[in-house]
Amino acid sequence: MRDIRSIIRRILLSVFLLSLIAGTGTFYFVLHDRAVQQAEEQARTLLATALAVRSYTNEHILPKLSQLPPTTFNEETVPSFAAQTVFRSLGGQSSGYTYREPALNPTSPADRASAFEIDLIRQFRDRDTLTELTGVHDSGTERLFYVAKPMRITNAACLICHDTPERAPPAMLARYGSANGFGWQLNEVIGIQLLTVPVTRQFSGLMTLTAYLAGGLLLIFTLCYAALSATLDALLVQPLKSLATAADAASVSGGHAVSVPRGAASELSSIAAAIERLRRSLARSMAQLGRDDSAR
C-alpha cells in the first residue's frame, strides 16, 4: 500500500515531466523557427541589395569608366568587386554580415571558395534545377544563416575577362595575373553568391528563454506539490489518523465520544458519526451484558 502523498508526488512528477518535454520542446522549436525566419528575411533583403549594387555597376559604372584609356584596370567596373566591397564596409567578417562571390577557379585569390562554399557550389553544379540553398552554418566561431544562389555564366560578355588570358584586357592581367579565373564556360556554374547573417546571439537567447520556461514550470509544480500535500495533510491524513485512534480506543475500552477533528474534510463527518454510533451500541450491548450477568 502506498500513502496518498507518494501517489500525488508520482502523478505530479509525471505531469511535470510530460509538460516539461512537450512544453519546452514546442516552445523551443517555435522560437527557433521564428529566429530562422527573421534571419532569412534579413538575408533576402541584403542579398537584393548586393544584386542591386551589381546591376548598378553593370549599367552605370562600367559604361562610364570603360571610356577611360585602357592602360589601367579599374576594378570598380567589376560587378563582383563593387558588391563585395560595399558589404565589407558593412562590418566585414567579424559582424557576420557578409556577401561573397566565391568561385572554384577565381580571378581574385580572395574569392577562393572555402570547403563549405565548395560543397555548396558542387550541389549547384550537380543539380541544374537547384536555384537556391539556405541553412544555418557553423563557422567555428559563429553560427550564420546563409542564402546561396548559383553564379551561372549566361552572358557571353562575361567571358571577355574570364575566358582566356589572351582575350582579357592586358591591364587586368597585369593586376591579377593569368593563372586564375580563366577557362569559364557559358552556362557553367562557376561559383555562388553567398550572403550570411549572424544568428549566434538569437540562438543563445533562445536557450535562455527555454531555460526560464523550464525553471518556471519547475517552480509551479513544486508549489502545487507543496500546497496539495499540505492541504491533504490537514484535511485528510491527520483527521483520519485521529479517527483511527478514536475508533481503536472505542473498540477496546468504550472510549470517549468520537467527533470529526477540527479542520477535517466534511466527507469525514459521516465516518465519525458511524464510529460514534458503533461505539454507543457497543457500550449499550456491554451494559446489557453486565446487567444480565449480575441478574443471574
Binding interface with ligand HEC (CB under 6 A) = 75, 77-78, 80-81, 84, 101, 103, 106-108, 111, 151, 153, 155, 157-158, 160-162, 172, 176, 181, 191
In angstroms, what is the minimal distance from the CB of 96 to ligand HEC? 21
**In this structure, are residues 189 and 118 in contact, taking their beta carbons and an 8 Å threshold?**
no
CB of 77 vs ligand HEC, minimal distance in Å? 6
Residue with Cβ nearer ligand HEC (54 or 137): 54
Least Å distance, CB 92 to ligand HEC, is 15
Q: Amino acid identity of 102?
A: P
Residue 71 or 208 with smaller CB distance to ligand HEC: 71
Nearer Cβ to ligand HEC (84/196): 84
Cα–Cα distance list, 250 to 213, 214, 286 (Å): 54, 52, 12
Give the span between the Cα atoms of 65 and 82, in whole angstroms: 13
Q: Which of 80, 288, 29 is nearest to 191 (CA)?
A: 80
| Smallest distance from ligand HEC to CB 126, Å | 19
Cβ proximity to ligand HEC, 181 vs 255, nearer residue: 181
Q: How far is the CB of 188 from ligand HEC (least distance, A)?
A: 10
Task: Give the C-alpha separation, 169 to 171, whole Å.
Answer: 5
Residue 81 grid coordinates: 568587386
Max intra-chain CA distance, the chain: 147
Q: How far is the CB of 14 from ligand HEC (least distance, A)?
A: 58
Find, among 109, 197, 117, the residue nearest to 149 by Cα. Answer: 117
Q: Which is nearer to ligand HEC, 145 or 176 (CB)?
A: 176
- Cα separation, 183 vs 186, whole angstroms: 10
Instruction: Give the nearer residue to ligand HEC in terms of CB position, either 117 or 276.
Output: 117
